[in-house]
Structure 1
Amino acid sequence: MKLQHFLNTYTDFKNKSFCSRYFTYIEVEQELKNLSPIFGLKEEGSTVEGRRIYSLNFGTGKKRILGWSQMHGNETTTTKALFDFFEFIQSEESLAKQFLNNFSFKIFPVLNPDGAQAYTRKNANQVDLNRDSVDLSQPESRLLRKAFDEFSPNLCLNLHGQRSIFGIKENKQASSLSFLSPSVDAKRQITEVRKQSMRLISAINDSLQAYLPGQIGRYDDEYNMNCIGDYMQTCGVPTILFEAGQIKDYQREDTRKWIWLAYITVLNAFAENKHKLGEWVSYLDIPVHEKNYFDIILRKAKINELIIDIAIQFEEKLDNNKIEFIPRISKIGGLDDFNGHKEFDLEAKNIMINGGLLHKTPQINEIWTTIWVENKNIVLAQG
């Protein structure tokens, strides 16, 4: 598979209906109903608030793939990439036809419609569905379990989005994408099932490193049976966690492209049986990412005679169907081992805010949208 070809032609497959971090579930439903009949749209059940949950069922192959996105309602990037994948599948690309011949797919584009509509991690009952895989206290969790039991997949794809706080310690890069082969027990033993998902993740990493050098991370594999990936891999089904991170714009349109390419790469590897034949040890070479990033760091800010670093993290807030990124002070000082997606060197100069000189150390959670340094304004708010 020539990845560069798909990179060059990505815009041909990009679904133009979703281009921001937030879109309503009504928009999702409309787009699902506009899809080609080949996708086999099926109403699987309903949410706590009565919204319909759909699956797409397509392909005629022997290998069965179960996937789901927006288990956390505010993680939309993998969903956008799924709609790009659906555009690809109905194209004339030979690889798309191979996928349809090799695989049978069952995909839940949005597992948590209530959370998606409200742009919240949890469902309407304030339950994290990714901590409900054993308890099955929520209707959304029960629907996914029913699909898992009845569909009997050979591979599961658990599609998420991560916060902008993760980075790679070794090279100080942000963790743009990250993956995990979940543990199957508290000892984190590397079983054959884990090796299969490790091999597939290694295939993704090998392909994308040329384009995202040093920017791909690995999630910590602490075991929690109530997490869906841990549960399914414990049941003997290779399961891969995808996490879409922060690259450039905060709408994550760039990240979306790389997630789409990761979908194509992992499916091609699965079709070629690399889950059984490839190398798995290289998975362990992917660095475990850490919480060592902030959205903004102001270096060498002068407040009276004190020179300090100030970290700002955006709070995401849904307002009038758009996401506002509200810049709040998150950490003051002790930032030598942290990095910012944006950094400003204030060169030990005084800060002005709200028209006056800043004379005291700010408080955690204070909102700073704009500061002035020597009559030059620095806009911290993100559009």
Structure 2
Amino acid sequence: MVLLTKRLTFVFSVITFFLLTMSSVAQKTLPDFSKQLFEKHEEFKEQSLIIRRFKHKDIVPLIEKLPFDVQPVGHSFEERTIYQIKLGNGQTKILLWSQMHGDEATATMALMDIFKFFQAKNDEFDALRTKILANCTLYFVPMLNPDGAERFQRRTATGIDMNRDALRFETPEGKLLKKLQDELRPEFSFNLHDQGTKYSAGMSEKQATISFLATPYNFPQEWNLNRTRAMQVICGMNETLQKFIPGHIGKWNDAHEPRAFGDNISKWGSSLILIESGGYKDDIEKQVIRKLNFVAILTGLQSVAEQSYGKYQLNNYESIPNNERFLFDLLIRNAEFVQNGKTIIKDIGINLSEKNINNATDFVFSSVIEDLGDLSTFWGIKEIDAKGLKVSLLSEFPEIIKQYKVSVKEVENEELNLDETASFLLTKNKEVKYIILNGQIK
């Protein structure tokens, strides 16, 4: 084990030395534009996309009017056109794609903002645009899974998760991504996703708003030149985002998944950078996280264009905390339950999930009581300290039922149980202090 560790350290040192040597001969680096990009994002924001449940027909007009090299490169299972947008003429090829899962739309919005950024001119970012486009050729594929986006679901219309289709290639969307990788042979690839909102950055109360991963190409999770470069670009993006969301950045699980595109693209020779958009308090439509994607991707492209990423070491990457599951959407601490005439203190962990309505153009929340008992090692995205407060049923307060038009189903429960809808009251001396309806504080 010691010998293996020493060998991996030596290999990593050789790779890092090589990258540092490359970086030393790179062109002069530009200033850090991240603060300005963050502050000026609104100027580049595509205002027609302000909710996540947009569809293919909503982005096609935006794509087709772009003053770039726009090409149809394939079709989905249901024959929706998938586009590639090409910018720049530099030596380093970079492929970026979003929404390979149809319900993961945050990065698609950010890419539309990036297109507007590259159309602008005569401002403080001219040097940045010139640097990226002179040194890199960018290939964007927004909304790789338009059929899934139509239903706002993860999987394609075939019912297959295309990110588990990198071995069989049963989906036309998966075949297209492999074709693009084979034809373009990009040095870098940006795989843009959304993740669940209840991941924490390490064992903490902070949501993992953005998570990164330099995907492993084999089960031993070895480091070669390509994976090392991805790791170093990620370190730069992490350093940038920490200025805006300190402590809210995580690292995705790096267990090797042989069916996944990220792992295989890394194996096929590209430096694969995974970006996962998680949650941020009260950012239901992920507009804050969209801005963070905008900043992270552009600063990542700058580091590639300048080859300035070589300064980062493996310990910088390993310092990013792993994604963990220590969060509930709502955590109520120290609530009093009266059972068989006795008072028992329990914490209540409540989670919410989104249910599509109106042809997947909108959603409603569905709640569940996920856990009861001692939840002192967990946190809530929202929390209530219910010390001295009793859990009461809605049926005890008919005026609340009438005021909020509570459904019969939510009233019929005779006690609070696991796996049920979270609708109840917190009271003191028969006075209502908190109303919880379907997992939300009223």
- TM-score normalised by length of structure 1: 0.94
Of residues 244, 253, 258, the one that matches 1:220 is 253
Question: Corresponding residue for 2:9?
Answer: none
Taking the TM superposition and a 5 Å limit, the aligned residue runs for 1:72-87 are: 72-87=101-116
> Aligned letter for 1:122?
R
User: C-alpha displacement at 1:37, in angstroms?
Assistant: 2.2
* Pair 1:17 & 2:9 matched: no
> Aligned letter for 1:293?
L
Question: Corresponding residue for 1:31?
Answer: 62
> Aligned letter for 2:391?
I
- Counterparts of 1:326 and 1:105, CA distance in 2: 40
Structure 2 SS opposite 1:347: coil
User: C-alpha displacement at 1:210, in angstroms?
Assistant: 2.0
**Does the aligned pair in 2 maintain the 1:199–1:274 contact within 8 Å?**
no
Question: Corresponding residue for 1:71?
Answer: 100
Question: Corresponding residue for 2:405?
Answer: none
- Counterparts of 1:340 and 1:227, CA distance in 2: 31
- Counterparts of 2:220 and 2:290, CA distance in 1: 34
User: C-alpha displacement at 1:106, in angstroms?
Assistant: 1.2
Taking the TM superposition and a 5 Å limit, the aligned residue runs for 1:1-383 are: 1-34=32-65, 36-38=66-68, 40-92=69-121, 93-94=125-126, 95-248=128-281, 249-304=283-338, 305-320=343-358, 321-356=361-396, 360-364=415-419, 366-368=420-422, 371-373=425-427, 374-379=431-436, 380-381=439-440
**Does the aligned pair in 2 maintain the 1:204–1:265 contact within 8 Å?**
yes
- Counterparts of 1:15 and 1:91, CA distance in 2: 13
Percent of paired sites with the same residue: 31
**Can you list the C-alpha shifts for 1:339-381, whole angstroms capped at 9, x where unaligned?**
11111112242223434277523231x2235645332343544
**Does the aligned pair in 2 maintain the 1:295–1:314 contact within 8 Å?**
yes
Structure 2 SS opposite 1:78: helix
- Counterparts of 1:22 and 1:382, CA distance in 2: 25
**Does the aligned pair in 2 maintain the 1:65–1:106 contact within 8 Å?**
yes
State which structure, 1 or 2, has the greater radius of gyration over its C-alpha atoms: 2
- Counterparts of 1:220 and 1:377, CA distance in 2: 38
- Counterparts of 2:373 and 2:150, CA distance in 1: 37
**Does the aligned pair in 1 maintain the 2:202–2:250 contact within 8 Å?**
no
Deviates more, 1:137-146 or 1:23-32: 23-32
CA RMSD of aligned residues (A): 1.9
Question: Corresponding residue for 2:8?
Answer: none
**Can you list the C-alpha shifts for 1:208-266, whole angstroms capped at 9, x where unaligned?**
21221111110111111211111011122100000011112211111111111101111
User: C-alpha displacement at 1:300, in angstroms?
Assistant: 1.9
> Aligned letter for 1:322?
D
**Does the aligned pair in 2 maintain the 1:123–1:129 contact within 8 Å?**
yes
- Counterparts of 1:184 and 1:275, CA distance in 2: 21
- Counterparts of 1:381 and 1:33, CA distance in 2: 41
> Aligned letter for 1:289?
N
**Does the aligned pair in 2 maintain the 1:54–1:109 contact within 8 Å?**
yes
**Does the aligned pair in 2 maintain the 1:69–1:159 contact within 8 Å?**
yes
Give the unaligned 5+ runs of structure 2.
1-31, 398-412
Deviates more, 1:105-114 or 1:94-103: 94-103
User: C-alpha displacement at 1:42, in angstroms?
Assistant: 1.5
Evaluate the alpha carbon distance shift between residue 55 and residue 348 of structure 1 in structure 2; reply closer, same or farther with a 3 A threshold. farther
Structure 1 SS opposite 2:389: strand
Question: Corresponding residue for 2:402?
Answer: none
Larger fraction in helix:
2
- Counterparts of 2:34 and 2:143, CA distance in 1: 27
- Counterparts of 1:161 and 1:370, CA distance in 2: 32
- Counterparts of 1:88 and 1:186, CA distance in 2: 39
Give the unaligned 5+ runs of structure 1.
none
- Counterparts of 1:54 and 1:16, CA distance in 2: 21
